[in-house]
Amino acid sequence: MQTIIIGIDGYEGSFDALSFGGALANTTGSRLIVAAAIGYAPLATVADPGDEARRAHFDRIFARAEDHLGELPYERFELEDEPPRALIELAERESADLIVIGHTHRGSTSRLLSTTTGDRLLEGAPCAVAVAPKDYAGREHEGLGIIGVGYDGGAESRLALVFAEELAAATDCELLLITAAPEYEGVPDPLGSTRDTMYEERMRAGVRHVKGVSAEGRLEHGDTASVLATRGVEVEMLVVGSRSHGRALRTLLGSVASELIRTAPCPVIVTPRAATPKEAVG
C-alpha cells in the first residue's frame, strides 16, 4: 500500500472517506492524495465558471478536508473532469493502490455509487475501491483490528485474499476469512450432506495459504452478502472480490459486493481482477 486516493465532494460522505482513508494512510505510511473534482458540486452546472469561483469552490472543500485530517500530510489535486473519469485517470497516473470514496447527502445510497459515477468508477478503476459507510467519521475507532475477507475459494475471492493479506501485513492486522455455505429451503440441496465439508475445506485451504499474518476462518450458513454484512460489526473492514470477467459495471450490480456496499456497517473494499498486485493464492 503505497498510494491512497481519497475522492471528496464536500458533503457528509467526504468525512467518512477522509476518516477511513486517512487512518489507512497514517497506519501504512502511504502517500495520501486528496482529490476533488469540479463535477462534484453545483458549480459544475455553470458552463464556464470563472477562476475566482473555481478557486473558492476548491478552497472551501480542501479547508474542510484539512480540518478533518489534522496534521496528516497529503497532496491536493483539483480535477477538472467529471469525477469517475478524473479519479480513474488520476489513479492510473499516480499508480494508486486504493481509491476511497464515501456516501453523500442524497439518501442512503451514495451518489458515487449511482450508475453515473460509482459504477463507472468501479468499471474502470485500475486499483481497488473502498466505500466508507454512512456516519463512519462519527464513530470511535480504537485501531484497524481485524480485516474480514469474503472467501469461497473462487478466483475472485483468492484475489481479494491476496489484497487483504498484504493490507494486514502493512497494518499489523489479523485476517478473518468468512465463508458462507448457501442454504436451500423448499428445494433439494444439490450437494447434500457433503456441502458443509466442501465449503469448510475451501475455507481451511484459504487460511493455509496465508503467510506472515495471523488468520482464522469461519464457516457460516446463508446468503453471502447477509452473512458478511452481519460480521461487519466485528471487523474493521471487509474485502471482497468483484465477479468481473469484463466490465465491472455488468457484474457488480446485484452482486455480493454491490449489496455489501449498501448494507455493511464497516468499510468495504472491492478488488477488481485487474487491480490485484500479485498472483493470487492457488
DSSP states along 98-162: EEEEE--SSSSS-GGGSTTTHHHHHHH-SSEEEEEPTTGGGS------EEEEE--SSHHHHHHHH
Q: Among the listed ranges 48-57, 124-133, 221-230, which one has the minimum average pLDDT value? A: 48-57
**Residues 118, 27: contact at Cβ < 8 Å?**
no
Q: Are residues 163 and 89 in the same domain?
A: no
Q: Alpha-carbon distance 121 to 249, whole Å?
A: 9
Q: Are residues 64 and 176 in the same domain?
A: no
Q: Are residues 107 and 35 in the same domain?
A: yes
Q: Are residues 14 and 121 in the same domain?
A: yes
Q: Percent of the chain beyond pLDDT 70?
A: 76
Q: Are residues 101 and 167 in the same domain?
A: no
pLDDT tens sequence across 173-201: 999 999 998 876 655 566 666 778 889 99
Q: Alpha-carbon distance 100 to 8, whole Å?
A: 9
Range of the domain at 270: 146-275
- Top pLDDT among 254 and 241 is at 241
Q: Are residues 133 and 8 in the same domain?
A: yes
Last residue of a domain, one of 101, 116, 138: 138
Q: Alpha-carbon distance 7 to 87, whole Å?
A: 7
Q: Which residues of 32-41 are buried (b: 16+ CB within 10 A; e: fewer)?
A: bbbbbbbbbb
Q: Are residues 46 and 126 in the same domain?
A: yes
Q: Are residues 117 and 167 in the same domain?
A: no
Last residue of a domain, one of 86, 121, 138: 138
Q: Alpha-carbon distance 249 to 231, whole Å?
A: 26
Q: Are residues 156 and 252 in the same domain?
A: yes
Whether residue 223 is contained in a domain is answered as yes
Q: Are residues 80 and 19 in the same domain?
A: yes
Output the average pLDDT for the chain.
81
Whether residue 177 is contained in a domain is answered as yes
Q: Alpha-carbon distance 101 to 94, whole Å?
A: 17
Q: Are residues 129 and 186 in the same domain?
A: no
Whether residue 119 is contained in a domain is answered as yes
Whether residue 281 is contained in a domain is answered as no
Q: Percent of the chain beyond pLDDT 90?
A: 46
The whole-number pLDDT of residue 207 equals 96
CATH label of the domain that carries residue 188: 3.40.50.620
Mean pLDDT of 200-215: 94
**Residues 231, 176: contact at Cβ < 8 Å?**
yes
Mean pLDDT of 99-112: 59
pLDDT tens sequence across 28-55: 999 999 999 765 455 444 445 567 888 8
pLDDT tens sequence across 155-178: 889 999 999 999 999 999 999 999
Whether residue 217 is contained in a domain is answered as yes
Whether residue 282 is contained in a domain is answered as no
Looking at the structure of the chain, the number of domains it has is 2
Say how many C-beta atoms besides its own lie within 10 A of residue 135's C-beta: 14
Complete DSSP assignment for the chain: --EEEEEE-SSHHHHHHHHHHHHHHHHHT-EEEEEEEGGGSGGGGSSS--HHHHHHHHHHHHHHHHHHHTT---EEEEE-S-HHHHHHHHHHHTT-SEEEEE--SSSSS-GGGSTTTHHHHHHH-SSEEEEEPTTGGGS------EEEEE--SSHHHHHHHHHHHHHHHHHT-EEEEEEEE---SSS--SSGGGHHHHHHHHHHHHHHH--SS-EEEEEEES-HHHHHHHHTTSSSEEEEE---SS-HHHHHTTSHHHHHHHH-SS-EEEE-GGG--SPPP-
Whether residue 230 is contained in a domain is answered as yes
The whole-number pLDDT of residue 185 equals 60
Last residue of a domain, one of 107, 138, 169: 138
Q: Are residues 214 and 104 in the same domain?
A: no
**Residues 34, 65: contact at Cβ < 8 Å?**
yes
Whether residue 12 is contained in a domain is answered as yes
The whole-number pLDDT of residue 274 equals 52
The whole-number pLDDT of residue 277 equals 46
Q: Among the listed ranges 20-34, 92-106, 199-213, which one has the minimum average pLDDT value? A: 92-106
